[in-house]
């Protein structure tokens, strides 16, 4: 799950990014309104965390620009401004939630997962496909027979992507975009390695290969 974090405080941004990655996100960081505007429109994000007080502009203007240009990923506004009018303005501009500083990282992650579930039309923190259920909070895979498997961060992100749209074919490029941020440049062969590892858990037939197209998750047993 790829996320855009817009925060001008470099230490805070790096600390948040580390915690968000542990929670299963692949994070790109923007420190300015200009950079945030460009990344939000060019990249495929599942959610965004947006600070309002940026050195070259207002985060609300960034959000308005995104929405005007049909950028639809859910956005949580993160700011030191706790006034109710700021919250109202943020929600009117197209934000999905609002969290005032100081805050607990656990609450931020919980709110992010909640707005993502709403955007996908879900109410539970699990993704269920056939015999398999992916627990987002614990980053583990549960199978109908009662067995449970803990996942690494990359395994979780990959499986979350595939199970989030069962039957949909994802190319290697699309999977790479969701698994890694802009500062990482792994070889595409890494996807094949992780697919092999996940097939040991769910079965080779569950994650199917479409030659020349990509991979899909489809449990019909």
The 10s digit of each residue's pLDDT in 62-104 is 999 999 999 999 999 987 766 778 788 889 999 999 998 889 9
* Burial grade of 92 (CB within 10 A; 0-12, 13-18, 19 or more): exposed
On whether both 148 and 196 belong to a single domain, the answer is: yes
CB 100 within 8 A of CB 79: yes
Structural domain ending residue among the three candidates 119, 145, 161: 119
Whether the pLDDT of residue 221 is over 60: the answer is no
Report pLDDT for 158.
Answer: 93
User: In sequence order, what are the beta bridge partners of 28?
Assistant: 4
On whether both 20 and 78 belong to a single domain, the answer is: yes
Report pLDDT for 184.
Answer: 84
On whether both 176 and 208 belong to a single domain, the answer is: yes
* Burial grade of 1 (CB within 10 A; 0-12, 13-18, 19 or more): buried
Residue range(s) defining the domain that contains residue 197: 126-217
On whether both 102 and 17 belong to a single domain, the answer is: yes
Report pLDDT for 220.
Answer: 67
- CATH code of the domain covering residue 188: 1.10.10.10
On whether both 67 and 147 belong to a single domain, the answer is: no
On whether both 41 and 134 belong to a single domain, the answer is: no
Tell me the percentage of the chain whose pLDDT exceeds 90. 68
How far does CA 146 lie from the centroid of its chain? 27
Structural domain ending residue among the three candidates 119, 146, 174: 119
On whether both 49 and 13 belong to a single domain, the answer is: yes
On whether both 114 and 144 belong to a single domain, the answer is: no
Number of domains in the chain: 2
pLDDT in tens, 15-27: 999 999 988 899 9
CB 160 within 8 A of CB 127: yes
On whether both 108 and 130 belong to a single domain, the answer is: no
On whether both 170 and 62 belong to a single domain, the answer is: no
Report pLDDT for 146.
Answer: 87
Structural domain ending residue among the three candidates 100, 119, 138: 119
Residues counted in the chain: 221
Helix axes 172-179, 189-202, angle to 10 degrees: 90
On whether both 10 and 90 belong to a single domain, the answer is: yes
Q: What does DSSP say about strands 26-30 and 2-6: parallel, antiparallel, or unpaired?
A: parallel
Q: Which of 40, 106, 111 is nearest to 69 (CA)?
A: 40
Neighbours of 159 (CB within 10 A): 25
On whether both 141 and 210 belong to a single domain, the answer is: yes
In sequence order, the 6+-apart residues with CB closer than 8 A to the CB of 116 are 1, 46, 47, 74
- CATH code of the domain covering residue 31: 3.40.50.2300
pTM: 0.84
> What does the alpha-carbon distance between residue 205 and residue 216 come to, in Å, rounded to a whole number?
10
Complete DSSP assignment for 189-200: HHHHHHHHHHHH
How far does CA 120 lie from the centroid of its chain? 12
What are the residue ranges of helices labelled H in 57-202? 59-68, 84-92, 105-119, 153-164, 172-179, 189-202
């Amino acid at each position: 799950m790829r996320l855009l974090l817009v925060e001008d405080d470099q230490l805070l941004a790096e600390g948040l990014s580390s915690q968000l990655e542990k929670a299963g996100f692949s994070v790109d960081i923007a420190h300015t309104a200009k950079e945030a505007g460009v990344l939000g429109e060019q990249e495929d994000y599942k959610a965004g965390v947006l600070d309002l007080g940026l050195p070259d502009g207002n985060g609300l203007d960034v959000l308005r620009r995104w929405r005007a240009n049909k950028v639809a990923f859910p956005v949580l506004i993160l700011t030191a401004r706790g006034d109710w009018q700021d919250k109202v303005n943020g929600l009117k501009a197209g934000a999905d939630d609002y969290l005032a500083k100081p805050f607990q990282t656990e609450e931020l992650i919980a709110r992010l997962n909640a707005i993502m579930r709403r955007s996908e039309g879900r109410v539970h923190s699990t993704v269920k496909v056939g015999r398999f259920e992916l627990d987002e909070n614990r980053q583990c895979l549960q199978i109908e027979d009662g067995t449970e498997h803990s996942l690494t961060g990359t395994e979780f992100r990959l499986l979350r992507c595939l199970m989030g749209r069962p039957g949909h074919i994802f190319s290697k490029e699309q999977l790479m975009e969701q698994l890694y941020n802009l500062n990482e440049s792994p070889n595409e062969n890494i996807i094949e390695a992780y697919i092999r590892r996940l097939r040991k858990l769910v079965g080779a037939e569950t994650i199917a290969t479409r030659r020349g197209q990509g991979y899909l998750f489809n449990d019909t047993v």
